[in-house]
Structure 1
Amino acid sequence: MFNETVKKLRIEKRLTLRDFCAAVGLDPSNWSKVERGINPPPGDIKTLEKLAVFFELEGAAKLNFIDEAALQRNEIPADIAGNSVLQSALPAFFRAARGHELTPEELEKLSEDIKKLHTPDSLTQ
């Protein structure tokens, strides 16, 4: 969960909540609620990017951080929501994740959609 991750990262930097908030320009009262899971994580990608830079997160760690924020808000990460190949594969993925059997055709379609993700031109769809 994002709230646990961000609190762990803050503590690893040996920062109090107030010191952290002062450094990144956040309200300590509201941020405390984020860390405790009472308020949802920020939805603004600029804020999440700023936090990722502050915590020196790069590559997969940065993407995971941003994804955790979206998932804790019960949202699909923006880069996935904007990808038509992924959008078309999500219903089959959700059925499979819930333990529902996919038809052979659905399984083949899901497999093809995943394979398309490994081609550079699929990322712009």
Structure 2
Amino acid sequence: MQYTFLLYSNPADFADMGPEDWAKSKAAYQAYIAALQEAGVFVATDWLQPAYTATTISLKDGEARVHDGPFADTKETLGGSFTVEVPDLDTAMDWARKCPAAQTGKVEIRASAMNG
């Protein structure tokens, strides 16, 4: 079964990070990716540009409406994702707990509707 971990954080929490802090964060994610790969459960990952760079499109009465910015204005934003292939939700939760994003934000776990 494939599960996607949606990584949410508050960008304000990273505003004061210096180069050393960013290097530590990058190393933590690299170690996490290596552990997922070593366990044979890694499928994909992606990091997203900041939410303020988003463009949102909606259709109302057949007319496209384009908005700068994210769909919802919230403190926590979606910053990236991991997709893993594991036998069950309990195993997915074990891996989500190990994700560096769980230390500073939230990790939402969603099962794939395509692989079930």
Q: Shorter-normalised TM-score: what interval?
A: under 0.3
TM-score by structure 2 length?
0.27
Which entry has the higher C-alpha Rg, 1 or 2? 1
Question: Does 1 or 2 have the higher relative contact order (CA < 8 Å, sep 6+)?
Answer: 2
Give the structure-1-normalised TM-score: 0.25
